[in-house]
Amino acid sequence: MMKIAIQGERGSFSHAVAAHLAPKAKLAPCASSYEVFDRVVRGTVGAAVIPIENSLAGSVAEHFDLLLARPVFIQREYRWRISHALIVPPGVKFAQVKRVFSHPVALEQCRDFFRRHAAIQAIPFYDTAGSVQYIMREKLRDAAALAGPQAAKEYGARILRRGLEDDKQNFTRFFLIRKSAGARPLPKADKISIAFALKSLPGALFRALSVFALRDLDLSKIESRPMRGRPWEYVFYVDVLRGLDLDAMNALRHLAEVADFVKVLGIYPAA
């Protein structure tokens, strides 16, 4: 039976996505993103599910950095509708809640709630479902957790309020990643994620993007991240809406001629 690493505890969104993508897989919860990636690279799990981008809060920067740094390959993507609930131990009422624990990305998706309830303190925690587990284990009477409704069921907690996210069109994009060695694109793969850095020359970004425009290749995303160890230099992350056909291969070869480096992060079917 294949093992899939996830960040967080049972009942997390990553847990739900992994169970959907691989219903028969054994899930291996991890406390940190580094542990997830390390387990994939060491081969102690066959794959991992990671959140990469939220439609409200934006990209998960740490995961972009790890995709670049580690020898892993994106094989699938999936979009999951995110709905946050305010979850408490049984018997706790809303008037008692002074603190809300959750992952920083989840807290960011519910800013309107905290603006309306300024007396309630938002406290970052390593995981959404883990925050439910924590308030239940510690039997906190002045605290709540912000997590998916499935986490309340998992840990025997109570839902006080549902739908706390700022916008109902709240989706998170997840990747299924494998160790690069031996990984192959799935059939019907029609999307390529790449990372590249540019030489410090006038017009470098224009020349880099032109390799796609000249071949009518559509880009659905472009984002820059600081390059570790090289202040004020950046890595560009790009999603290309094309499989690895002749035009895409020629574009990547052309990009390698004008870029400092190019890394193909994955080739996979678009969600």
- Is it the case that residue 1 has pLDDT exceeding 90? no
In whole numbers, what is the pLDDT of the chain averaged over residues?
95
pLDDT(229) > 90 = no
User: What mean pLDDT is predicted for residues 3-13?
Assistant: 90
* 174 noted as active-site residue: yes
**pLDDT (average), residues 107-119:** 96
- Nearest CA to 195 among 16, 40, 38, 74? 74
Write down the pLDDT at residue 57: 85
What was the pLDDT predicted at 264? 98
Q: What residue ranges define each of the domains in the chain, with the CATH number in brackets?
A: 3-81+170-179 (3.40.190.10), 85-161 (3.40.190.10), 191-268 (3.30.70.260)
Alpha-carbon distance of 83 to 34, in angstroms, equals 26
* Whether residue 172 lies in the annotated active site: yes
Report pLDDT for 56.
85
Reply yes or no on whether the pLDDT at 267 is more than 90: yes
Provide the pLDDT confidence category of residue 82 given band limits of 50, 70 and 90: very high
Predicted model pTM: 0.89
Given the residues 64, 101, 113, 172, select the one marked as catalytic: 172
- How does pLDDT run across 115-163, given as a tens digit for each residue? 999 999 999 998 999 999 999 999 999 999 999 999 999 999 999 999 9
State pLDDT tens for residues 161-220.
Answer: 999 999 999 999 999 999 999 889 999 999 999 999 998 888 999 999 999 999 999 999
Active-site hit among 37, 73, 101, 174: 174
- The 10 Å Cβ neighbour count of residue 25 is 17
pLDDT of the residue at 108: 92
What pLDDT score was predicted for residue 31?
86
Query: How do residues 51-78 score in pLDDT, each as one tens digit?
Result: 999 998 899 999 999 999 999 999 999 9
Q: Is 196 exposed, middle or buried (0-12, 13-18, 19+ CB in 10 A)?
A: buried
What's the whole-number mean pLDDT along residues 15-32? 90
